[in-house]
Chain A
């Protein structure tokens, strides 16, 4: 007997096949599976939805509604990758009381695969971050950070690699230069390496040594920095081989990913989902040679609590 889940999946695949057959001539209804990439950034301790008395975003957001939405999407997806681009800490009384541990615990329960730390994760000292990180069942990625503190250094990793239906997907993290962001001494303890050089090295490592077919940069640089420093737009222009940059820091609501064509003629898409968990971003990548090689993604977002 066919299960309800299988029935829904088959119906969805059939419908998707009908549509993709219309969109991509010659492709059959069951051409390939897809990877669904879900993401947030700058959630800033927004555990509960914005109160109804909020001047903006009244009633929106809420980590519990995000968790339910992620579950629903997972249920209807072949494969999911759930990522966060940093600044989970700070912004509501939940952080004042629990110092980030509740956020990390719920994110772990939701099945986050990785996050890149934002400057707010370091703003209150190494001990606080390390304590909260005990609740995190996912790695923190920042390939351009090297910490003198041994515990921090072992906590922060460069990259993760996942395999979906024979396609390797690499995710590396890039953090913002902490010298321009915090003044608690930790900025001296964490060496921010040359971001462009490190990003090139990460892409090469993922592409050449780990045979990744698709490369995602999880960035907390910000979409665009007036100061002229490195940001997501400059990173996309400077580093070939990144397919998708999931960004944070500037709290930018991008309805559609920005397309940047690099010097090698290949496309990099940049996306960012505002702040406070108001939106959950979604990018779908069909797992076929054509789609992966040509970066044929589709995208959308969900406004949580709408």
Chain B
């Protein structure tokens, strides 16, 4: 109330010249946000049983906190491995790399059961699996772009993060990159279509899209792995 009186006094003393057509309305300090609406809660309760029947099915168990981290983390590795392994299954070929940015992912996991509902929250977007054929030069650029982010989910590559986030000692499947070779790289439609920081993915030699939703792919991989730990294998060392 003191602030309200102070504001009114200030406005009067200032000659009433402060009027703007659009102003941020004064918010009384005593404004309190109400809690949930009981009538709405009643409506939602009539749906919650069916909702839980669908979403409470357990997919896997997290034994550690699983977060995306830089330069890498157990969760980084899990999702990157998931797309590379599934890409290999779909194409029946050896896929050299899996790369994905973390921007589409919405939540992290606390230790405990991971449910189907958690997985829909984890990645709600309907991106699909893509395999790109890149030249050795493009793969080198891609790894440098991962390094420039300070690290990102990557599968099939190892490197040291040097000064100014430069990738050093790059190995792709335990071999140095051959600029003359072609490499298969698994990613998602979003990153292949031009979103995110990995421009090396945008002009591939070839592109193959698969009708495999990322959400479905990750649910299956988490189910298969079942017990999830925050284990890193020094893919990206700083």
Contacts and interface: CB of A to CB of B under 8 A. Distances in A.
Interface string B108-128: 111000001100110010000
B16 A22 contact: yes
A97 B24 contact: no
B224 interface: no
B107 A53 contact: yes
A287 B105 CA distance: 45
A282 B105 CA distance: 30
Contacts of B106: 54-56
B81 to A, nearest CB: 21
The A interface is mostly helix, strand or loop, or mixed, namely mixed
Contact of A23 (B19, B41, B117, B120): B19
A184 interface: no
A153 interface: no
A296 B26 CA distance: 16
A149 interface: no
A267 interface: yes
Nearest to A282: B25
A69 B33 contact: yes
B205 interface: no
Nearest to B15: A25
Interface residues on B, range: 35 or more
A93 B51 contact: yes
B180 interface: no
A198 interface: no
A68 B107 contact: no
Contacts of A295: 21
A306 B32 CA distance: 10
A256 interface: yes
Contact of A96 (B18, B105, B110, B120): B120
Nearest to B116: A93
A275 to B, nearest CB: 12
A109 B43 contact: yes
Contacts of B37: 64-65, 67-68, 71
A97 B23 CA distance: 42
B173 interface: no
Nearest to B102: A55
A294 B2 CA distance: 33
A72 interface: yes
B11 A19 contact: yes
A18 B121 contact: no
A147 interface: no
A257 interface: yes
Contacts of A269: 22
A30 B26 CA distance: 19
Interface in A2-40: 15, 18-19, 22-25
Nearest to B26: A19
Interface string A149-187: 000000000000000000000000000000000000000
A252 interface: no
A94 B51 contact: yes
A105 to B, nearest CB: 6
9 contacts: A67-B36, A68-B34, A91-B124, A92-B121, A96-B54, A106-B43, A109-B39, A109-B43, A305-B33
Listed from nearest, the 9 A-B pairs whose CB atoms lie closest are A68-B37, A67-B37, A64-B36, A68-B34, A22-B11, A67-B40, A93-B120, A300-B25, A64-B40
Interface of A: 15, 18-19, 22-25, 47, 51, 53-56, 62-65, 67-69, 71-72, 90-94, 96-98, 102, 105-106, 109-110, 255-257, 259, 267, 269, 282, 284, 294-300, 302, 304-306
Given A23-B19, A102-B43, 16 more contacts: A18-B8, A19-B26, A23-B11, A47-B44, A63-B40, A65-B37, A68-B34, A90-B124, A92-B120, A94-B51, A105-B43, A106-B40, A255-B24, A297-B22, A298-B22, A299-B24
